[in-house]
Every structure is written in C-alpha cells, then in structure tokens.
Structure 1
Amino acid sequence: MSVEKALLNRKTVRAFKPDPVPKALIEELVEIANRAPSNGNLQPWRVIALSGESLEVLKTKAVQKLQQDGFEQPEYQVYVSPMPEPYRSHRFAVGEALYKTIGVAREDKAGRQAQFAKNAELFGAPLGLFFYIDRRLGPGQWMDLGMYIQSLMLLLEERGLSSCAQGYWSFLHETVTSVTEASTEWMLACGLAVGYEDKEAFINSLESSRQPLGEFFHLKE
C-alpha cells in the first residue's frame, strides 16, 4: 500500500472486532514508527500498550471513576474556550454527521451520551496504546509526538489495522496511569484504540469532511 493510499483510507473507526492484535505485529509497527522525525532527534515519546486483562482493568476503573467522581482535570488544554471560527464549525459539523450516521437525534441526549460513553470501552478495540511526553518539554516536542502518532496510524492502516485517536483519555489521565504505571515525569497526551474494523457497523461508514485546498494552502512565486 502506498503512503497516499494509506492516508486516504485512514479514518476514525468507532466499532472494532474483538480479534486480538498479534504482539509481534504491534511491536514491529511501534518500532518502525520510531523513524518519525523530531526536532533535534529528541524522540520525546513513550508508548505503553494495554491488552487483555490490563485493558479490562482500565475499562473497569474508567467506568467506576466516571460514575463516582466524573472526569479528571486534564493536564493540558485540550480545546480552547470559547472555540473560535472556523474551528467551532468544523467540530460541530463532524459531531452532527456522527450522530446522524447512527440515527441519534440532536435532542436525544441519552443516545448521545451512550455513544460518547463507548470511548471508555475503546469502542471494542482489543488494544489500547497510550502516548506520553516528557512533561519538562514544550510545544515543539508536542509536534514531534504528533508526527510519531501519525506515522504509526499510517503503518497500522498499511497492515490492515484500524485506529481511533482518543484525546478523551486526557480527562482520565490519573486513571490511565494507575494502570500503565508510567513514571510521574511523563504526561499522558492521548490514547489510540487499535484493532480490526467491524465493517458491518454502520457508524464506520462516516467519513469526515475536509476543507478545500484554497482555504489552507497558498503558493507564492
């Protein structure tokens, strides 16, 4: 598969088959993705994978935390508030498209909450990857981490795996770290649900829109 095809095929999958991801395969892809660029070759990322019993422990803890106390205070600002345009409209549009795809009306708050709650189950994925960054570092290294994650997501696509990037876990970072046992000098950035797409799940038919070229690219000669 070409890089172009992997990029065009990649999408956010929100329903996975339970089939396990081979350990050797995920180790191979995580290592290949380590060739991603980083300023000064800092390589400021750490990746912790959870599957099997460990993943089930996280799911249980996440549900209990939400039921008892609600979300935790994230360690970084996930979204600015208020969200300026055109970004607010972009976010609103994809949310509306998602719920329309699964037939959940705007006024159906229970239905929307039920769908959102599936984040805590990693949408049924058998593998969760959790990305950490050294908390002593700054915005430049967050860009490095993003390039690593994108590289890994394209490699997953090439090998027939699907994924769902989840900033959601930044709101449960203490719960996640109680399972991953990451050192306190590392900050949780996000999670990534990984597995094989359930192609029969209608929610996976959603393809989010993209802004036209002229809105974000300008060539001056």
Structure 2
Amino acid sequence: MDFGTLMEQRWSCRAFRPEPLEDELVTEILTVAQRTPSWCNTQPWQVHLLGGDALEWFRKELRARVEAEPFGVSSDVPLPGGYLGVYDDRRRAAGYALYESLGIERGDKAARAEQMLRNYDFFDAPHAVIVTSDRIQGTYGALDCGAYVTNLMNAALDRGVGTIAQGAIGIHSGAVRRLLGLPEDRIVLCAVAFGRPAEDHPVNTFRTDRAALDDVVHVVERP
C-alpha cells in the first residue's frame, strides 16, 4: 500500500491469531526495518527475536516475576515524570477507549490490572522482539531505536502483520536482562509483539485519534 494509506491504517494490535508467521516473512520485515537511518549510521539497536517454545518460556517467566514484584520497576531509561494538560487528556482517552472495547468499567481496578499484565503475555502473539540500545549512546541511541521500532511496525503492517510496541517490557528491564543474559552495556527499551491480527476480537476494534496540525505545527516566520 502507499505510505499515506499505511500511516492512516496503522494501529496497535492487542489480540493475535496463534499460528506463527513464515520464517521468510519475519526475515523480510526485519530486513526492511534494518534500513532505518541513525545518528552517524551507528545503528545502535539490537533485537532478540522470540517465538515458539522460547517465547512461551519467556512470557511465563517474565509475567511470574512481574506478578511477584508488581512495583519492582527497574527501567533502564528515566520514566515520564508525569502527564499534564493535553498529554494527560490523550493518555486517558486512549485508556478509556481500550477498556470500553473490552467492557471493563472505569472503576474495575482488578480488570484493568489484569489487562495491564497482558503485556507480559505479549497478548498471545506468536512472535516478539526485545529492542535494546547501546548504553553509552544515551538519548541519541534511544531515538534511533525509536525510529527502528516505527519502521519495523510499518514494514509489518504493509505485509498484513499486526504489531504493538510495548514500553511496559522496558519498565522491568532488570528481569528482562536476567532472563536473556544481556550485558550491562545494553539498555532494554521496549518489545514489539507481532503476528496475524485476531480481527474479530473486540480489543482490536478501537482506534486512537490524532491531534490537528494546528496543535502541533508551529510555523516560524522571519522577524
């Protein structure tokens, strides 16, 4: 599809069909994403690809560790200090739309917590990648990896594959590092779960909106 259509149709998939993708298709998606531009062509991203028995083991172990220490946050990168004004409005609107699609009442804290834990099941996707960056490159490395994640998701969507970027995985980077045996010079940023979308699942029916250009684009004129 053309790029404009692809961007209009992009969405976060939270329910997947169980069958794995063909190895050739996974390789094709990762090959396209590898063309992502980066600062001085450093290409700081590394990805750990999980599927089959490896992903089943990883999600079981990771969820168990998160449930044992629900507040054991160990993010390699600073978390947001908060969300104020329009940013909080957008965050809340997205959350309410998600819960509404699943029939979860706003006051049902237990159901909301369980939906959050679904991140650590990778929403039952047949594949996932854990994205890490070179620690010493700091913010610039993380920015480059963000571009990589975007291109990975767009390359997947162009081939009919659903994705969701999961910052929740990075919140428990310590557990991820131990499970994967990652060296200290790598920082855990996020995961991307992917596979064929379960198109009939209600959680895949809602879409988030986007701010108007006038709200984000500031035209600078010569003084």
Q: Structure 1-normalised TM-score? A: 0.94
Distance 2:207 2:47 in 1: 28
Distance 1:72 1:94 in 2: 23
Counterparts of residues 78-157 of structure 1 (less than 5 Å): 78-81=79-82, 83-157=83-157
2:195 is aligned with 1:195: yes
Distance 1:94 1:106 in 2: 13
Asked if the contact 2:75–2:174 (Cα under 8 Å) also holds between the matched residues in 1, the reply is no
Distance 1:60 1:80 in 2: 30
| Residue 155 of structure 1, CA deviation | 0.5
Asked if the contact 2:165–2:192 (Cα under 8 Å) also holds between the matched residues in 1, the reply is yes
Asked if the contact 1:50–1:129 (Cα under 8 Å) also holds between the matched residues in 2, the reply is yes
Asked if the contact 1:50–1:180 (Cα under 8 Å) also holds between the matched residues in 2, the reply is no
- What letter is aligned with 1:76? V
- What letter is aligned with 1:153? M
Secondary structure of 1:160's aligned partner: coil
| Residue 220 of structure 1, CA deviation | 4.2
Secondary structure of 1:130's aligned partner: strand
Aligned to 2:66: 66
Aligned to 2:35: 35
For residues 102-125 of structure 1, give each alpha carbon's deviation from its aligned partner in whole angstroms, at most 9, with x where no partner exists: 111111111111211111111110
Secondary structure of 2:172's aligned partner: helix
Count of matched residue pairs: 220
Structure 2: 5+ residue runs without aligned partners?
Answer: none
- What letter is aligned with 1:155? A
CA RMSD of aligned residues (A): 1.4
Aligned to 1:15: 15
Asked if the contact 2:74–2:174 (Cα under 8 Å) also holds between the matched residues in 1, the reply is no
Distance 1:84 1:11 in 2: 24
For residues 67-99 of structure 1, give each alpha carbon's deviation from its aligned partner in whole angstroms, at most 9, with x where no partner exists: 322233212123223x22221111111111111
- What letter is aligned with 2:112? R
Structure 1: 5+ residue runs without aligned partners?
Answer: none
Secondary structure of 2:84's aligned partner: coil
Distance 2:122 2:197 in 1: 12
- What letter is aligned with 2:209? S
| Residue 20 of structure 1, CA deviation | 0.1
Distance 2:149 2:98 in 1: 23
Q: Structure 2-normalised TM-score? A: 0.93
Aligned to 1:77: 78
